[in-house]
Chain A
Amino acid sequence: MIRVLYHYRNYIVQNAWNDLRHRYAGSGLGAIWNVISPLAQILVYTIVFTELMSIKFPGVSSRFAFPLYLCSGFLPWIAFSECVSRGANSFLENANYLKKMPIPEQVFVAQTAMSATLGLFISLGLLFALAIIMKYPPTWLWLIVPLVAILFQGFGFGLGLLLSSINVFFRDVAQILGIFLQIWMWMTPIVYPESILPERLLIYMKFNPAYPFIHTIREVFLYGRFPESWMWWVMCAWAFGVPVLGYLVLRKLRPEIRDVL
């Protein structure tokens, strides 16, 4: 699989880049919408949580800290969920190509994952800039953030790959996925702080695959703490295990995928 993806690397990267540039083609602001829509969401959550509900955050005193807290969890999540949901649809979206050309199927999932990841990097860059403006001292540890983000996206790529093969045969999968991602987001401390979770629920976070990624990014970015080693193991397991599983499923279903497109 890796060989195939490497072979098509230029195609994947170019298409992902074009996707970002042209998704909002025809609109006045164009590619800037990639950034505006998540920012608007962040603004809404910030106002609701800090102004209306006045939730207090342990360890961060400034009232501007919430946007940073929110962004550091919310931006990776948006990229991840885009990666999964668009990935699951990628075979159907690219049916035209699959029907006529001998391009390996996984290339299209990789392309959507790459586009989501590029988008994430751009928004992370903005986040870092925002943090510096807000006088958060940058540290070398910040360099770990993109690494974790890549692992998170790897996990998303795997899920997308797994679901895309199944979605071709059972198109309900994409619909169910949309609902499931919503629930998943609220079951993960992304827009609310971990501290408001009761102790008994916090234990279950171990079983939430998204939790270690979000948690690690925040630990590193906000508190400057290097993540514990077991966190790395868990993240790597998801980031490498799920794509392998997805690939095995794809390999099993591959002979029939193009038949039903």
Chain B
Amino acid sequence: MSTDVVVQVKNLGKRFKIYQSPWARASEWASLGRKVSHQAFWALKDISFELKRGECLGIIGPNGAGKSTLLRVLTRSLYPTTGTFQIRGNLLSLLELGTGFNPELTGRQNIYRSTQLLGFPQGYVSERIQDMEEFAEIGEFFDLPIKIYSSGMYIRLAFSMFVFLKPEVLVVDEALSVGDIFFQQKCHAKMQELMDYQAAIVLVSHDMSVIERYSTRTLLLDQGRCLFLGQPLEAVQRYYKMERSFVARTEYAGDIHNVRPGTDHDSGKSDLIADWPPAHAFLDLTRATVLGTKGIARCIGIAVCDDKGEPCTTFKIGEKVFFYYEFELLQDIDVPVGGVVLTNKMNIHVHGKNSLHYMSKAPLITRKGAHVRFRQTIQLDIAAGEYTFMIGFATIGTDDYLHANEMYFAQLQSKIKDILGVCQVGTILVRESTLRSGFLFHGYTNLQGDCRLSVSHNNEYQ
């Protein structure tokens, strides 16, 4: 292999044998391979890639896709069933953060022992132990048995050990998301430093922003197979599409004529939404969590699209997301209300708005059997990151609806009766935008505003 390639993986496969009981294994052994009484489970199949110095390979995929198995094979704590892999130089894995520690030994002794296990010579560590001690910032505890450490000290010790060992290949598995924010920041700084001095990194994460930020290439795994290997952005988009699996639902009656419009109080007719997305754009609702009262309405479909009406879950800051959702009424209700709530990773409701807040026209009475469709457009003027959304369906009394204009928010909210809330249908990812787009800001949202400046050289301000 060329001198730059530090990790080379060829047709790697890992099969687990699943036996019903130890007796099944015994009988298979006794038959000397003539009888097969196990089920083969391929956790990995035909994985090939190369990794050069200074590259970072991101690995993503749903739970059970084989990400951890792949890492365990690379760290040699599992033997591959097929294929080969070669690693040039030292491989260090944050998987094993502190696993080799002996509670009876002091921090210093543990560092010597663990590094020895990882294959680093004693002299190598002696040169760096001073730095490790300073980085760990645990003072005199460094020379006390680690069984008396707090869990925070434990992590600090383990991490400072890794900081100063300079491996050619580093394997990171979700380690960036443990610990407090300061620890995470240290991890991130360390990642950057490692990449700067040309280590190769294998990074597994469920945090797509981390993947997009660090990886130079991304491997998308599903059920042990490589679905995609290439540009991180494309891999992330494919991942989202895959995970949300745009299942075409046969029960979906996408026929606009089924909708029995109610009577609009202004024109006597509400406008039908013309550009309804095709059936395949609608999300799989089988795993959705539905909150609220049963028997009043049911959710027929939810779709998330871009401005061209194509199903989409990745947007840049400032782009518009189009939510399409439809409910069928199982009882008569008054005025229907529909809305969307966006929630960020910290479970903060970043934005929530319903058709009433938009002052959308709605029928005063909606009969049983009617289908109510909503198309809600939201300009994503919010921080980059992953957001979950909840689609809500509610109703408000005819009188209250007619007087809604005069009400304040809290008063209006108290009049709205929630019917359904559909959550865990999917997520949308908001990506960073460039300065030119005008959507750069600190914090959660971009508030409307403006900033000008002027300079005076001869004190005209007086």
C-alpha spacing A25/B298, complex, angstroms: 64
B window 1-46: CB within 8 A of A: 16-17, 22, 25-26
Other than A11-B117, A96-B99, A258-B77, give 11 A-B pairs with Cβ distance below 8 A: A14-B113, A18-B102, A18-B105, A100-B93, A100-B99, A101-B99, A170-B25, A170-B26, A254-B79, A255-B81, A259-B78
Closest 4 CB pairs of A and B: A102-B76, A255-B79, A100-B96, A22-B104
Interface residue total, chain B, C-beta cutoff 8 A = 24
A93 an interface residue at 8 Å Cβ cutoff?
no
B237 an interface residue at 8 Å Cβ cutoff?
no
C-alpha spacing A133/B16, complex, angstroms: 60
A10 an interface residue at 8 Å Cβ cutoff?
yes
A64 an interface residue at 8 Å Cβ cutoff?
no
B75 an interface residue at 8 Å Cβ cutoff?
yes
Cβ-neighbour of B95 out of A8, A100, A255 (below 8 A) = A100
Known: A10-B116, A101-B117, A103-B117. A258 touches B95 (CB 8 A): no
Known: A18-B105, A170-B26. A102 touches B17 (CB 8 A): no
- Chain B interfacial positions (CB closer than 8 Å to A): 16-17, 22, 25-26, 72, 75-79, 81, 93, 95-96, 99-100, 102, 104-105, 113, 116-118
Interface centre among B72, B75, B77, B96 (most CB of A within 10 A): B77
A63 an interface residue at 8 Å Cβ cutoff?
no
Whether the Cβ atoms of A102 and B104 lie closer than 8 Å is no
Closest chain B residue to A96, Cβ basis: B99
Whether the Cβ atoms of A97 and B81 lie closer than 8 Å is no
- Majority secondary structure, A binding face: helix
Give the residues in chain B near A96, CB-CB below 8 Å.
99
A-B contact pairs, 8 of them (CB 8 A): A8-B117, A97-B100, A99-B72, A99-B77, A101-B77, A170-B22, A258-B78, A259-B16
Known: A11-B113, A96-B99. A256 touches B77 (CB 8 A): no
Give the residues in chain A near B102, CB-CB below 8 Å.
15, 18
A169 an interface residue at 8 Å Cβ cutoff?
yes
Cβ-neighbour of B100 out of A8, A22, A101, A258 (below 8 A) = A101
C-alpha spacing A97/B22, complex, angstroms: 24
Closest chain B residue to A25, Cβ basis: B104
Whether the Cβ atoms of A256 and B17 lie closer than 8 Å is yes
Whether the Cβ atoms of A102 and B26 lie closer than 8 Å is no
A127 an interface residue at 8 Å Cβ cutoff?
no
Interface centre among A10, A21, A100, A172 (most CB of B within 10 A): A100
A window 2-27: CB within 8 A of B: 8, 10-11, 14-15, 18, 21-22, 25
Cβ-neighbour of A98 out of B16, B26, B77, B118 (below 8 A) = B77
How near does chain A come to B37, taking the closest CB pair, in angstroms?
13
Whether the Cβ atoms of A18 and B22 lie closer than 8 Å is no
